[in-house]
């Protein structure tokens, strides 16, 4: 097996050594020796040593109650440090003979390939300038690391960078080591898990912190690279206001099943975003005012500032005063509803125009080199983030709108909206949308739930258009779901168009997405209210929970094909919004490959997708890593637009229909139809405990009930903790196994070789199966599952082995990921630290479930630390 890069191994070793020094200093040599005994036992056990397994088990069994938490913390901390080293390694300084990483080459190589394929340079530059990618940052109920700890981890990465210079003196090396030692000690002495649930506002602040500490630096750096690649390939420059990637957020706007997200919370988050944006621009403008002390200026600039020896500073100081006024107003408005004064910035042009005037003046006067420095970076940020930092989406369940309208129609004496059929609903909604009078009298006093829906609509109506993204309707299933939101927004006083976006989530809803949008686009007056593309959100999480990933992936693909065709027939632009999670079971996986595997025509210069929780941290938490991932997004969207993948052959579609049918039947036979499944799930995994832990602002369940009541994230998370990874693969064992038995190996191989959609699904399946571990899952069963349910656990592990055999049969490998030895080695190294955490977690769960006891104090804290450590070790949670 290929070894991990020596420099990465050195970094991991150094951080582990410094953590060991911290453990000795805090807990003594005996405790450190015990940790080493556990680690060595786990390593030996992984290599097949029965004595190692016995040593590991006995050492963990002998731990005193007060040792459980520090042992869990030690292994959790090591896995986090390994993540930091691995993340930094992806962006470390290259030796002269090393090739640039794929992420740095992907865009220049694509541009050259497109030119070679016959694309004209001007057309290519024009298309690149028109690309619109929006990454929607969402809160994560399983993101457990505290913000203060994440900042320490970032500082550790910065010190790894500081030591990555061959010309450091011995004294400088020692200084770096001391700073690392101090940071690791600070991290160790900081509680890694929050004591109370974060509020939605806390989650929004976490998202703002990612922008402040990483994306604010990454975006201008990314755009410099894009500009350089475009110039090298075509001789043309990226337009000054081009913003191929922008950011939106659900944090503080996603009220689907989260009673903690209220209209007041949404208003507060919108104001906090304005405050943060003004504050960040103030720092930029302060720097620019200090730097731009030049006297030469264009007539246009002088006309604006008058006679002044330092015209740039004069103009920038005027902008600075307006930014200060904006920040002060936003802060005051958080406390009470105060009107904005004339100095407050409302339109992004007010921010951009003085900056552009300085930029053009400097170029006009022969100082382009100066203009292309910090001023250009500030302009790029203003084009990307604007005055509102991120566009806030609003999300609500369709049922809440139905209930609100039901109350309203009942109050008006019109009957019960909830009982009307679809045609009656549509007729009523269209009539009211065209009616100029208000729907409700001013004195109407709605019930609490309806009042909250209407209050949210009033917040939307009062907010500037540029502060908001889309209004997403979860569990949408009919045209009336869209019209209902439009009517409620009209009633709240919304005077401008807003994208109202149906989210199709279940298998049936995905199959029905095309007909719903077809009818919607054909309704009288609807097109006049559209004002832009028809946005449709494709749900990955709930569709996979409903049907398994085999059937849901194919349903998502077919739904997109249908939507592309329907919008073309209606001559309406389509914007698909992909609700992808961080894990394979929720549509996750490498974004570049995923975008290139979408149906032809579905990525037409526009792409919108969610980025979730800990994946935001892994993909965008460090500026250089963020640049890499932004490059991947841009290159994939540009390629999918200009060189879309081929249409699937009829034989591929027919086989995919069979695979989906077999996968659906096998998945539901277990999850829906097996009488013991829910009981087994609750015993074998930490699902019940996850609901009690302070993981996120949103409840783990939509309502009381079985698996169907669970949110997709904790459903995936619970199986990830036990390493069975069941939702990501269940169904594929039957789908692929049956196809191979029917003699369809050659057809499967041609699909994998020539159809990006199928290849990406198999690659993601192979990755998740490589992380799955039947022995670890068996360990949880032995400790936690009652005797009558253990045969079901054995059956599920047998299905896992069938899934592995089917993938190996298809790929003709002797081992999963045999083609990616570095990934295999990375998983192998982590297992040494993960195995003790799994054993420890199973023991903690068993203790917390004793009749006389519930997890509390150190026991609950140790359990949560084990959850965090396993999530960190696997690099994904829900």
Q: How confident is the model at residue 701 (pLDDT cuts 50, 70, 90)?
A: low
* Residue 33 included in any domain: yes
Q: How confident is the model at residue 8 (pLDDT cuts 50, 70, 90)?
A: confident
* Residue 624 included in any domain: no
| Domains: count for the chain | 2
Out of 34, 205, 545, 771, the active site residue is: 545
Residues 40, 81 share a domain:
yes
Percent of the chain with pLDDT over 70: 93
Domain hosting 41: range is 1-99+147-190+821-878
Whether the pLDDT of residue 587 is over 80: the answer is no
What is the mean predicted confidence (pLDDT) over 107-125? 95
Size of the chain, expressed as the number of residues it contains = 878
Q: How confident is the model at residue 707 (pLDDT cuts 50, 70, 90)?
A: low
* Residue 435 included in any domain: no
Out of 140, 213, 578, 838, the active site residue is: 140
Q: Of 549, 714, 610, 535, which Cα lies nearest the Cα of 253?
A: 610
What is the mean predicted confidence (pLDDT) over 326-344? 95
Whether the pLDDT of residue 163 is over 70: the answer is yes
Query: What pLDDT score does 876 carry?
Result: 52
Q: How confident is the model at residue 98 (pLDDT cuts 50, 70, 90)?
A: confident
Q: Which residues pair with 248 in a beta bridge?
A: 136, 391
Residues 838, 771 share a domain:
no
Q: Is 165 a catalytic residue?
A: no
Q: How confident is the model at residue 2 (pLDDT cuts 50, 70, 90)?
A: very low
Q: How far apart are CA 456 and CA 312, in angstroms?
A: 43
Whether the pLDDT of residue 878 is over 50: the answer is no
Provide the 3-class DSSP secondary structure of residue 547.
Answer: helix
Q: How confident is the model at residue 705 (pLDDT cuts 50, 70, 90)?
A: low
Helix axes 6-27, 29-46, angle to 10 degrees: 140
Q: Is 140 a catalytic residue?
A: yes
DSSP-derived letter for residue 611 is E
Query: What pLDDT score does 589 carry?
Result: 52
Q: Select from 802, 820, 838 the last residue of a domain.
A: 820
pTM for the full predicted model: 0.92
Query: What pLDDT score does 406 carry?
Result: 98
Sign of torsion over alpha carbons 83, 84, 90, 96: negative
The pair of three-digit structure tokens given for residue 19, joined into one six-digit string: 């953590």
Q: Select from 778, 793, 820 the last residue of a domain.
A: 820
What is the mean predicted confidence (pLDDT) over 783-799? 97
Residues 165, 31 share a domain:
yes
Contacts of 385 (CB under 8 A, 6+ apart): 211, 216, 219, 246, 247, 277, 280
Q: What is the Rg, in whole angstroms, of the alpha carbon atoms belonging to the chain?
A: 28
Query: What pLDDT score does 586 carry?
Result: 39
Q: How confident is the model at residue 480 (pLDDT cuts 50, 70, 90)?
A: very high
Residues 631, 700 contacting (CB under 8 angstroms): no
Q: How confident is the model at residue 347 (pLDDT cuts 50, 70, 90)?
A: very high
What is the mean predicted confidence (pLDDT) over 786-806? 97
The pair of three-digit structure tokens given for residue 32, joined into one six-digit string: 């450190």
Residues 875, 789 share a domain:
no
What is the mean predicted confidence (pLDDT) over 302-317? 93
Query: What pLDDT score does 583 carry?
Result: 43
* Residue 505 included in any domain: no
Q: How confident is the model at residue 283 (pLDDT cuts 50, 70, 90)?
A: very high
* Per-residue pLDDT tens digits for 21-70: 999 999 999 999 999 888 888 888 888 888 888 888 888 888 888 888 99
Residues 872, 727 share a domain:
no
Helix axes 200-210, 263-291, angle to 10 degrees: 20
Q: Select from 820, 838, 869 the last residue of a domain.
A: 820
Whether the pLDDT of residue 585 is over 70: the answer is no
Query: What pLDDT score does 297 carry?
Result: 95
* Residue 539 included in any domain: no
* Residue 536 included in any domain: no
* Residue 608 included in any domain: no
Q: Of 490, 491, 518, 522, which Cα lies nearest the Cα of 502?
A: 518
Give the rounded distance of the alpha carbon of 19 from its chain centre: 30
Whether the pLDDT of residue 125 is over 60: the answer is yes
Query: What pLDDT score does 143 carry?
Result: 52
Residues 267, 382 contacting (CB under 8 angstroms): no
Residues 781, 745 share a domain:
yes
Residues 781, 706 share a domain:
yes
* Per-residue pLDDT tens digits for 736-772: 999 999 999 999 999 999 999 999 999 999 999 999 9
Residues 739, 782 share a domain:
yes
Mean pLDDT of the chain: 90
Query: What pLDDT score does 588 carry?
Result: 40
- Of 210-224, 380-394, 607-621, the range with the lowest mean pLDDT is 607-621
Residues 801, 834 share a domain:
no
- Of 158-162, 380-384, 516-520, 628-632, the range with the lowest mean pLDDT is 158-162
Label the pairing between strands 499-504 and 606-612.
Answer: unpaired
CB atoms within 10 A of CB 508: 14
Q: How far apart are CA 111 and CA 227, in angstroms?
A: 12
Contacts of 340 (CB under 8 A, 6+ apart): 329, 333, 346
Give the rounded distance of the alpha carbon of 34 from its chain centre: 38
Residues 729, 680 share a domain:
yes
Contacts of 376 (CB under 8 A, 6+ apart): 220, 359
Contacts of 557 (CB under 8 A, 6+ apart): 598, 599, 757
Residues 830, 691 share a domain:
no
What is the mean predicted confidence (pLDDT) over 421-445? 95
DSSP string, 659-688: HHHHHHHHHHHHHTT-TTHHHHHHHHSSHH
Q: Choose between 612 and 776: higher pLDDT.
A: 776
Residues 774, 683 share a domain:
yes
CA atoms within 13 A of residue 377's CA, in its CB half-sphere: 19
* Per-residue pLDDT tens digits for 486-516: 999 999 999 899 999 999 999 999 999 999 9
* Residue 697 included in any domain: yes
């Amino acid at each position: 097996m290929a070894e991990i890069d020596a420099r990465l191994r050195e970094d991991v070793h150094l951080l582990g050594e410094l953590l060991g020094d911290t453990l000795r200093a805090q807990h003594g040599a005996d405790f450190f020796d015990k940790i080493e005994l556990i680690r060595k036992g786990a390593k030996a056990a992984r290599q097949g040593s029965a004595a190692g397994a016995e040593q590991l088990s006995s050492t963990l069994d002998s731990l005193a109650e007060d040792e459980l938490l520090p042992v869990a913390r030690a292994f959790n901390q090591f896995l986090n440090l390994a993540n930091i080293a691995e993340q930094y390694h992806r962006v470390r300084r290259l030796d002269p003979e090393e090739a640039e990483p794929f992420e740095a080459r992907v865009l220049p190589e694509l541009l050259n390939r497109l030119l070679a394929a016959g694309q004209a340079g001007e057309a290519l530059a024009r298309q690149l300038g028109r690309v619109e990618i929006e990454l929607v940052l969402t809160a994560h109920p399983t993101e457990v690391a505290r913000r203060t700890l994440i900042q320490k981890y970032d500082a550790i990465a910065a010190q790894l960078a500081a030591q990555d210079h061959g010309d450091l003196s011995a004294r400088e090396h020692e200084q770096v080591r001391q700073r690392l030692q101090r940071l690791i000690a600070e991290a160790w002495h900081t509680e890694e898990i929050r004591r109370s649930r974060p509020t939605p506002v806390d989650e929004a602040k976490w998202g703002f912190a990612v922008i402040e500490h990483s994306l604010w630096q990454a975006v201008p750096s990314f755009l410099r690279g894009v500009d350089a690649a475009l110039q090298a390939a075509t001789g043309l420059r990226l337009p000054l206001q081009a913003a191929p990637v922008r950011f939106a957020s659900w944090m503080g706007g996603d009220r689907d099943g989260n009673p903690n997200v209220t209209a007041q919370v949404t208003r507060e988050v919108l104001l906090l975003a304005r405050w943060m944006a003004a504050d960040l621009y103030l720092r930029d403008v302060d720097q620019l005012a200090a730097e731009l002390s030049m006297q030469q200026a264009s007539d246009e600039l002088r006309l604006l500032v008058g006679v002044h020896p330092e015209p740039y500073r004069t103009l920038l100081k005027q902008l600075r005063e307006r930014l200060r006024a904006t920040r002060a107003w936003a802060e005051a408005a958080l406390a009470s509803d105060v009107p904005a004064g004339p100095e407050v910035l409302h339109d992004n042009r007010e921010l951009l125009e003085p900056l552009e005037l300085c930029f053009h003046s400097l170029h006009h006067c022969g100082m382009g080199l100066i203009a292309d420095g910090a001023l250009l970076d500030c302009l790029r940020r203003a084009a990307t983030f604007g005055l509102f930092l991120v566009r806030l989406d609003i999300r609500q369940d369709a049922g809440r709108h139905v209930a609100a309208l039901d109350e309203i129609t009942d109050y008006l004496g019109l009957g019960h909206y909830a009982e009307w059929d679809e045609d009656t609903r549509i007729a009523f909604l269209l009539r009211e949308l065209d009616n100029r009078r208000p729907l409700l009298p001013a004195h109407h006093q709605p019930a609490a739930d309806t009042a909250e829906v209407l209050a949210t609509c009033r917040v939307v109506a009062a907010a500037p258009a540029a502060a908001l993204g889309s209004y997403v309707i979860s569990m949408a299933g009919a045209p009336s779901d869209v019209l209902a939101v439009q009517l409620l927004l009209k009633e709240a006083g919304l005077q401008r168009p807003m994208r109202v976006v149906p989210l199709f989530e279940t298998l049936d809803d995905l199959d029905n997405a095309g007909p719903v949008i077809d009818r919607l686009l054909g309704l009288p007056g609807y097109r006049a209210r559209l004002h832009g593309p028809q946005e449709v959100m494709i749900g990955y999480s709930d569709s996979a929970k409903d049907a398994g990933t085999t059937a849901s992936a194919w349903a998502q693909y077919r739904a997109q094909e249908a939507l592309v065709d329907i919008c073309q027939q209606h001559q309406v632009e389509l914007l698909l919004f992909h609700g992808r999670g961080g894990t394979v079971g929720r549509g996750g996986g490498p974004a570049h490959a995923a975008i290139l595997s979408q149906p032809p025509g579905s990525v037409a210069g526009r792409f919108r997708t969610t980025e979730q929780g800990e994946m935001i941290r892994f993909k965008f938490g460090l500026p250089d890593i963020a640049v890499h991932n932004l490059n991947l997004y841009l290159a994939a969207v540009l390629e999918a637009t200009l060189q879309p993948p081929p249409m699937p052959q009829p034989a591929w579609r027919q086989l995919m229909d069979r695979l989906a049918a077999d996968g659906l039947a096998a998945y539901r036979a277990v999850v829906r139809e097996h009488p013991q499944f829910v009981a087994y799930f609750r015993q074998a995994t930490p699902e019940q405990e996850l609901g009690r832990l302070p993981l996120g602002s949103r409840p783990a369940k939509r309502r009381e009930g079985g698996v169907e009541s669970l949110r997709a994230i904790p459903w995936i998370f619970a199986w990830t903790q036990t390493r069975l990874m069941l939702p990501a693969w269940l169904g594929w064992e039957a789908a692929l196994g049956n196809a191979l038995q029917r003699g369809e190996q050659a057809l499967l191989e041609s699909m994998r070789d020539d159809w990006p959609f199928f290849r990406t699904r198999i690659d993601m399946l192979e990755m998740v199966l490589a992380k799955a571990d039947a022995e670890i899952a068996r360990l949880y069963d032995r400790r936690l599952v009652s005797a009558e349910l253990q045969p079901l656990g054995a059956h599920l592990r047998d299905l896992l082995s069938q899934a592995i055999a089917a993938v190996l049969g298809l790929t003709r490998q002797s081992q999963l990921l045999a083609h990616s030895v570095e990934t295999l080695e990375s998983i192998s190294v982590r297992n040494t630290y993960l195995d003790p955490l799994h054993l420890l977690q199973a023991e903690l769960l068993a203790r917390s479930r004793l009749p006389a006891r519930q997890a509390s104090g150190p026991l609950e804290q140790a359990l949560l630390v084990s959850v965090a450590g396993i999530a960190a070790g696997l690099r994904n949670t829900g």
